[in-house]
Structure 1
Amino acid sequence: MATTIIRTVEEMRQTVRRWRCKDGSIAVVPTMGALHEGHLSLVRVALSHADWVVVTVFVNPTQFNNAEDLIAYPRTEESDLAKLTTVGAHVLYAPSVDVVYPKGFATTVHVGNVSHGLCGAHRPGHFDGVATVVTKLFLQIGADIALFGEKDFQQLHVVRRLARDLDIPIQIIPCATIREPDGLAMSSRNRRLSTPERQIASHLPAVLFHAAEQLRQSLPTHEVIAEAKRRLEEAGFDGIDYVDLRSETDLSPLDTLDRPARLLAAASLPSARLIDNVRVAPPAWKQRI
């Protein structure tokens, strides 16, 4: 069965009402399109959790800090639809900007604490845009569960917090990062990389996994992070926004690896800014597991 395209809130809600009449559970996978295997893996997990799956495709202008980046973001609805049909998604919800932000729209959702620092410090207003559009999509669709990849780990925390704080009855299910054979986290932005940039990009996960192993061996955190930044610079990245160790549960900064953590990084190339993270658990914690 081919995936159906829906473009209006009313049609989306009518569809959900029909599903509810059949006692079906509903999952949503929010995306900005240009779908790749990482997105499709989320859809497959969604299909294992729910009777009906909605994939949203909306390039959200309020989360872009750079107008040129917004214009350059890939838009591939036709191929997205074909991929979703192949994996069995039921609906592609693709509202226009005017539908999501109608004339006179004047509300912003701001999530404190977990949106601060990391990408929040380097992309002012970005997470307000994410939180606002995700809140709208949750309310427009009314799904039971939502699936997000762990590649953008800070975004995952922002979404969890807004759902909890605003009493939105939806379960957030995190899914592991899907990687290319050389380790690079799959991203729609990867297609913008030139061949030399793509070679440089593969150093980001390699450096993070190496640093994570050093942390597990109890090397001083500040030394490990300093070395990771140096290696990224030597690899050819134009700028390193951050390499940081944070608690896995609440994103609080860590000076020592004394609990499950994430080592997160953001680094730039001329064609794209890349983010990634890897899980790091202290040796003692690993033994308890």
Structure 2
Amino acid sequence: MPDEKGLISIENMFYGALPNRRMGQEVLGKTPGITAEIEAEIVEFCNSWGDCRNLKFRRSLNQFPLDAPGSDGSDMIAVVKVVNAGRDSMGREGTLVRHALILNENDYRQIEFNPFTLEAQGAFLEAWTQACDCRPILVNSRIIPPTDLSEIPRSFFKQIKEYIETVLSGGTIFLFINNHLHTAEDVIYYVFKLLPADFRAQIALTTFAFRRNLEYQIGCYYRQSDTSPDPLKVQFEMSGEKNKVAMDFATELFDSLENEKYGQAARMLAAPFPVKK
């Protein structure tokens, strides 16, 4: 939980290859609170994420619940940022650096279970040239701005509502990109923002990956296409049948957004999501 100043202390670890080395991925640093079981899960994820040398990839934000509990037995969630740090010592593009933040559920709740908020607060290190002397990351929960639901473009409402219904019903959505990476990531950002807060903690999400290395509920992948990208027409696939509880929730939520009743929408997202009937 936050201390008396509102600060949340976050365990973290760095994994990857140093730019001045020819090859090799390794743990470059970790804080003492990272257990061997949690470290093993993070390393497995990092090794399976994929190779980025075939695309001018820059960064990916990932979230997934961990199987291993924290040292106090609490449920833990990993938020991992993967960044292309440039060329290695042989001039090859695609030196990957991975910074994993490990949060227990109570602390992550103070940040509304939102990986994008962690990124906006500057919690991630994006590059390094030597092994790291890891220290806990401090995030001030008192300066996190309230969620702004008015920023979601109305042109995306119909598409995002369909995604929300699918994810809340236990299904999955996969966005595919050719050249419009930012539009696909924007859609994921809006979808995640419009999920009930307690539901977000359960979600495995990636803003971009080269392959489906996890059972993501929300994911974005690269698909080569000869057609010119349309920024308002992101290719996507959905799986899973929608249920009435999810559809009713989404209808009420988007009615509130359409009528600019943002306070009502925010209260819906803050309340526990009703179970399927």
* TM-score (norm: length of structure 2): 0.28
Structure with greater helix share of residues: 1
* TM-score (norm: length of structure 1): 0.27
